[in-house]
């Protein structure tokens, strides 16, 4: 029996969407804790929230939204079979990811320098709500940062495959799924940013 | 039933794939049947180890005081028994083994939607299992928290909880990927004519299970990450001294772990719905309602986690709501039981080994389900919370339910893949021993619990001695039966009588292809013209 080449784009995208749901639910556990503890410690949360570096938060939001735009444009470019443009746009996306992580490094360094990190003596001595706030902050943003790293790596692999020609205008489901993953990373940040930096 | 029709020469079967040789032909194969067997033997191995641990627990409880182990060893043994049974046997058990073996064939597909992802799932399972096994022998020794990893103890104990929890996290990831794979497969790869209403009920149950796997498992993932963060970073999110709340851990843990019992039981219910019509020689009664009730159990079961926490200090309103929702789950479960019994009514019932296991499922699961209502009602739960009653109830549902069905499925489906079958008589004797031993073991536990014996204690008051001894003797009968059926089954698969294409007279697609199945299942894409239990339509007398 000859094995027909089985390419099921709709199937591949369905699988990716299902996987993205599981990622959302993974983060939802942390958001759930945020909600429960916010209700218990509204004042401590507000006090801690005002200490956050709004500059880094805003800058990183702008960077991530730009990167999402770039990767969406990369999908359009590959549909038109413009390989060079696709590569440039993907390179831009990965660059944004790197800058995002670099900013995160600066921001965390500043905070750790002030003695704010999970289990630090300063937090242990401080009011209990602040310790919970920063504990959640580090875990949520850390997990998100890990996803930025994974997404950046994924898009790098996709870019290499575009260059080799295994992803092209007739077969680009890998790029599309990579872009979907990147949008998820962006989307989760869109929730993290207001919750930790803005509304408190 | 039917004598062997024709036995296919083994050249076309999936056993004779060309390509890789030796063990590489298995551990790197993307064929769903090979992956199914990999899963089957992996989960069975962990099951057998956990059985030995369970027997050790019963021996310790044979008499009051120290019998064969001290309190610390007892804590470690019941923890590892639970972790292996839950996370390495029964959760991956049905989807991984029989789901992989049977589901693609039943929907008329050549493989699952993502064969490489399928193999990756198995590898993740093995990596997670390796981490769990390593945790027993390294660091501070085997975890002693119970399989539930409750904080604050799990955040403080010196035993190797971190590695064990990491292992469970990885196994959970494997379970998620299986779920993603199965839902995509069932949506995309059904053969022409395989409409949703012609889907075998086992596939329906796997479909509902896969949704639970996808929607609930990530919560377990994040909860376990938080436990690791407590231990490694001292994040303090569950530490009351730092503003955290241990009850939040319990909520997050049970948001996954209650739906997880439906990951264990739903596919088993699917197997029951497959086997009963075949052995009653009647189309299944109430197909739509059985399919629908699988989804209803999956949905309602996701909203009842709080019933594990009545004594935790949760608000009375929450207890009332969770208690009410818990009772709602009984409705779709009962729908299934009534439909199975109605299928049997006036059927031409053939009492062979698979059917005996399935019939005992109905009885044992009903006992487990009804005692579940005793636990689901807040007032009675306060009395029996954390007693041996809970242990008895849980084993009635999961061992008596899912476990017995797993053995039934082994007797029903494995001959199809090996082309040979077991001897009937030892299988029936083994089943009878298991059934009797099972009831002695676990019914005693429920009575002990009602009398007030707590769970997870290596010692007890003298008045509990007679029933504990009874329970321990029951466990030996149970294991005796288990050994008998396993030896008989595997001897049969190796050198028993050959079986034909359709030894039981089933109407689902797996019985329409040669035995053992060819590599890509169907020589030509099948076109489905009849329902899964339409024996006349399938031309089966």
Taking an 8 Å cut-off on Cβ atoms, the answer to whether B218 and A25 are in contact is yes
Smallest CA–CA distance from B240 into chain A, residue: A128
Taking an 8 Å cut-off on Cβ atoms, the answer to whether B222 and A129 are in contact is no
Taking an 8 Å cut-off on Cβ atoms, the answer to whether B229 and A118 are in contact is yes
Which residues on A lie below 8 Å from B180 (Cβ)?
A: 15, 18-19, 22
Chain segment B80-113, per-residue pLDDT in tens: 999 999 999 999 999 999 999 999 999 999 999 9
ipTM: 0.93
Smallest CA–CA distance from B225 into chain A, residue: A139
Closest CA to B413 of B492, B349, B357, B354: B354
Q: Is the peptide bond preceding residue B516 cis, with omega within 30 degrees of 0? A: yes
CB A154 within 8 A of CB A167: no
Neighbours of A145 (CB within 10 A): 18
Residue B420 sits at φ, ψ, to 5 deg, of -135, 160
Work out how many CB contacts closer than 8 A connect A with B: 118
Taking an 8 Å cut-off on Cβ atoms, the answer to whether B233 and A119 are in contact is yes
Q: Which of A3, A13, A18 to mutate to test the interface with B (most CBs of B within 10 A)?
A: A18
Which residue in B177, B184, B235 is closest to A135 by CB distance?
B235
Q: Which of A26, A40, A47, A137 to mutate to test the interface with B (most CBs of B within 10 A)?
A: A26
Following DSSP, what letter does each residue of A109-159 receive, concatenated? HHHHHTT-STT-HHHHHS-HHHHHHHHHHHHHHHHHHHHHHHHHHHHHHHH
Taking an 8 Å cut-off on Cβ atoms, the answer to whether B243 and A3 are in contact is no
CB A100 within 8 A of CB A63: yes
CA distance B402 to B411: 14
Smallest CA–CA distance from B182 into chain A, residue: A15
Those residues of chain B that have pLDDT short of 70 are 1-11
Helix/strand/coil for B142: coil
CB A148 within 8 A of CB A101: yes
Following DSSP, what letter does each residue of B415-483 receive, concatenated? HHHHSB---HHHHHHHHHHHHHHHHHHHHHHHHHHHHTPBSS-S---GGGHHHHHHHHHHHHHHHHHHH
Cα distances from B478 to residues B143, B186, B404, in angstroms, run 27, 37, 12
B215/chain A closest Cα distance in angstroms: 6
Helix (H) or strand (E) holding B280: helix B246-280
CA distance A173 to B357: 46
Residue B63 sits at the vertex; the CA angle it makes with B62 and B68, to the nearest 5 degrees, is 75
Closest CA to A141 of A23, A27, A36, A59: A27
CA distance B342 to B365: 17
Q: Is A138 on the interface with B (CB under 8 A)?
A: yes
CB B474 within 8 A of CB B437: yes
Lookup result for tokens 């022998």: B137
Q: Is A146 on the interface with B (CB under 8 A)?
A: no
Q: Is A7 exposed, middle or buried (0-12, 13-18, 19+ CB in 10 A)?
A: exposed
Smallest CA–CA distance from B185 into chain A, residue: A11
Smallest CA–CA distance from B221 into chain A, residue: A26
Taking an 8 Å cut-off on Cβ atoms, the answer to whether A118 and B252 are in contact is no
Taking an 8 Å cut-off on Cβ atoms, the answer to whether B235 and A138 are in contact is yes
Q: What is the pLDDT of residue A126?
A: 85
Dihedral angle sign, alpha carbons of residues A89, A92, A97, A100: negative
CA distance B170 to B91: 13
Number of C-alpha atoms within 13 angstroms, CB side, residue B5? Answer: 15
Which residues on B lie below 8 Å from A129 (Cβ)?
A: 243
Which residues on B lie below 8 Å from A33 (Cβ)?
A: 226, 237, 248, 252
Taking an 8 Å cut-off on Cβ atoms, the answer to whether A11 and B223 are in contact is no
DSSP B5: -
Which residues on A lie below 8 Å from B177 (Cβ)?
A: 19
Neighbours of B247 (CB within 10 A): 16
A152/chain B closest Cα distance in angstroms: 21
Closest CA to B105 of B502, B512, B531: B512
Q: What is the pLDDT of residue B36?
A: 97
Taking an 8 Å cut-off on Cβ atoms, the answer to whether B236 and A29 are in contact is no
Smallest CA–CA distance from B238 into chain A, residue: A132
DSSP B522: -
Which residue in A19, A33, A129 is closest to B248 by CB distance?
A33
CA distance B43 to B46: 5
Q: Which of A43, A118, A121, A188 to mutate to test the interface with B (most CBs of B within 10 A)?
A: A118
Taking an 8 Å cut-off on Cβ atoms, the answer to whether A8 and B520 are in contact is no
Closest CA to B166 of B77, B229, B228: B228
Q: Is A137 on the interface with B (CB under 8 A)?
A: no
Cα distances from B176 to residues A26, B95, B122, in angstroms, run 11, 11, 12
Smallest CA–CA distance from B244 into chain A, residue: A132
Closest CA to A3 of B518, B59, B438: B518
Chain segment B163-219, per-residue pLDDT in tens: 999 999 999 999 999 999 999 999 999 999 999 999 999 999 999 999 999 999 999
Smallest CA–CA distance from A28 into chain B, residue: B219
Taking an 8 Å cut-off on Cβ atoms, the answer to whether B184 and A3 are in contact is no
Q: Is A136 on the interface with B (CB under 8 A)?
A: yes
Residue B164 sits at the vertex; the CA angle it makes with A25 and B60, to the nearest 5 degrees, is 125
Taking an 8 Å cut-off on Cβ atoms, the answer to whether B237 and A10 are in contact is no
A121/chain B closest Cα distance in angstroms: 11
Residues contacting residue B321 through CB under 8 Å, at least 6 positions apart: B306
Following DSSP, what letter does each residue of chain A receive, concatenated? --------HHHHHHHHHHHHHHHHHHHHHHHHHHHHHHHH-HHHHHHHHHTS-HHHHHHHHHHHHHHHHHHHHHHHHHHTT-HHHHHHHHHHHHHHHHHHHHHHHHHHHHHHHTT-STT-HHHHHS-HHHHHHHHHHHHHHHHHHHHHHHHHHHHHHHHHHHHHTSSBTTB-HHHHHHHHHHHHHHHHHHHHHIIIII--
B384/chain A closest Cα distance in angstroms: 30
Which residues on A lie below 8 Å from B243 (Cβ)?
A: 37, 40-41, 44, 127-132
Strand partners, B13: B518
Q: Is A115 on the interface with B (CB under 8 A)?
A: no
Residue A91 sits at the vertex; the CA angle it makes with A87 and A97, to the nearest 5 degrees, is 150
DSSP B402: I
Smallest CA–CA distance from A10 into chain B, residue: B188
Tokens, residue A111:
């905070």
Give the pLDDT of chain A (200 residues) as one tens digit per residue.
334 456 789 999 999 999 999 999 999 999 999 999 999 999 999 999 998 999 999 999 999 999 999 999 999 999 999 999 999 999 999 999 999 999 999 999 999 999 999 888 888 888 888 999 999 999 999 999 999 999 999 999 999 999 999 998 888 999 999 999 999 999 999 999 999 999 87
Residues contacting residue B370 through CB under 8 Å, at least 6 positions apart: none
Following DSSP, what letter does each residue of B77-122 receive, concatenated? HHHHHHHIIIIIIIHHIIIIIIIHHHHHHHTT-SS-S-HHHHHHHH
Helix/strand/coil for B517: coil
What does pTM read for this prediction?
0.94
Q: Is A29 on the interface with B (CB under 8 A)?
A: yes
């Amino acid at each position: 029996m000859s094995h027909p080449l089985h390419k099921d784009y709709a199937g591949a995208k369905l699988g990716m969407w299902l996987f993205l749901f599981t990622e959302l639910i993974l983060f939802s556990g942390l958001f759930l804790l945020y909600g429960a503890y916010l209700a218990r410690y509204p004042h401590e949360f507000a006090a801690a929230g005002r200490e956050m570096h709004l500059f880094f938060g805003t800058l990183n939001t702008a960077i991530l939204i730009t990167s999402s735009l770039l990767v969406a444009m990369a999908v359009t470019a590959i549909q038109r079979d413009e390989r060079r443009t696709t590569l440039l746009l993907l390179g831009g996306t990965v660059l944004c990811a790197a800058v995002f992580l670099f900013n995160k490094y600066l921001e965390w360094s500043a905070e750790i320098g002030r003695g704010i990190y999970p289990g630090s003596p300063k937090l242990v001595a401080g009011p209990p709500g602040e310790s919970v706030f920063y504990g959640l902050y580090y875990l949520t943003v850390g997990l998100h940062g890990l996803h930025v790293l994974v997404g950046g790596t994924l898009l790098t692999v996709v870019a290499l495959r575009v260059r080799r020609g295994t992803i092209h205008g007739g077969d680009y489901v890998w790029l599309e799924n990579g872009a979907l993953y990147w949008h998820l990373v962006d989307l989760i940040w869109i929730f993290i940013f207001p919750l930790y930096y803005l509304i408190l | 039933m039917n004598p062997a029709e024709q036995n296919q020469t083994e050249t076309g079967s999936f056993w004779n794939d060309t390509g890789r040789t030796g063990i590489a032909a298995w551990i790197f194969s993307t064929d769903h049947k090979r992956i199914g067997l990999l899963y089957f033997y992996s989960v069975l191995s962990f099951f057998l180890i956990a059985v030995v641990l369970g027997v050790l627990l019963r021996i310790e409880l044979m008499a009051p005081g120290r019998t064969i182990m001290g309190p610390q060893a007892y804590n470690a043994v019941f923890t590892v028994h639970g972790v292996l049974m839950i996370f390495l046997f029964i959760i991956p058990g049905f989807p991984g083994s029989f789901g992989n073996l049977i589901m693609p064939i039943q929907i008329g597909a050549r493989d699952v939607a993502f064969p490489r992802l399928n193999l990756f799932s198995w590898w993740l399972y093995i990596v997670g299992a390796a981490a769990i096994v390593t945790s027993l022998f390294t660091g501070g020794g085997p975890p002693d928290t119970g399989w539930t990893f409750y904080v604050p103890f799990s955040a403080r104990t010196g035993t190797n909880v971190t590695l064990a929890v990491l292992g469970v996290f990885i196994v959970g990831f494997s379970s998620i990927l299986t779920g993603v794979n199965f839902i995509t497969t069932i949506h995309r790869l059904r053969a022409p004519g395989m409409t949703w209403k012609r889907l075998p009920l086992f596939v329906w149950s796997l479909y509902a299970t896969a949704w639970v796997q996808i929607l609930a498992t990530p919560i377990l993932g994040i909860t376990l990450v938080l436990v690791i963060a407590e231990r490694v970073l001292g994040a303090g999110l569950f530490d009351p001294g730092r503003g955290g709340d241990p009850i939040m851990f319990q909520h997050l843990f049970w948001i996954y772990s209650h739906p997880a019992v439906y990951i264990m039981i739903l596919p088993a219910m699917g197997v029951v719905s497959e086997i009963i019509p075949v052995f009653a020689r009647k189309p299944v009664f109430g197909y739509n309602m059985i399919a629908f009730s699988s989804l209803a159990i999956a949905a309602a079961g996701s909203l009842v986690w709080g019933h594990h926490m009545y004594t935790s200090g949760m608000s009375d309103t929450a207890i009332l709501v969770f208690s009410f929702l818990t009772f709602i789950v009984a409705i779709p479960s009962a729908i299934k039981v009534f439909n199975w019994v109605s299928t049997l009514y006036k059927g031409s019932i053939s009492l062979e080994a698979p059917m005996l296991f399935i019939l005992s499922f109905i009885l044992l699961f009903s006992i487990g389900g009804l005692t579940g209502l005793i636990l689901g009602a807040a007032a009675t739960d306060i009395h029996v919370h954390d007693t041996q009653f809970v242990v008895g109830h849980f084993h009635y549902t999961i061992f008596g339910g899912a476990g017995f069905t797993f053995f039934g499925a082994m007797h029903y489906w494995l001959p199809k893949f090996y082309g040979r079958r077991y001897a009937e008589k030892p299988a029936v004797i083994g089943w009878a021993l298991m059934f009797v031993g099972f009831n002695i073991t676990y019914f005693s536990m429920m009575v002990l619990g009602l009398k007030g014996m707590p769970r997870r204690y290596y010692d007890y008051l003298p008045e509990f001695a007679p029933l504990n001894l009874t329970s321990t003797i029951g466990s030996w009968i149970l294991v005796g039966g288990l050994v008998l059926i396993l030896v008989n089954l595997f001897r049969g698969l190796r050198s028993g009588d050959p079986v034909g294409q359709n030894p039981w007279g089933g109407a689902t697609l797996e019985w329409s292809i040669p035995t053992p199945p060819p590599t890509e299942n169907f020589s030509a894409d099948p076109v489905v013209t009849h329902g899964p239990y339409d024996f006349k339509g399938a031309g089966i007398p």
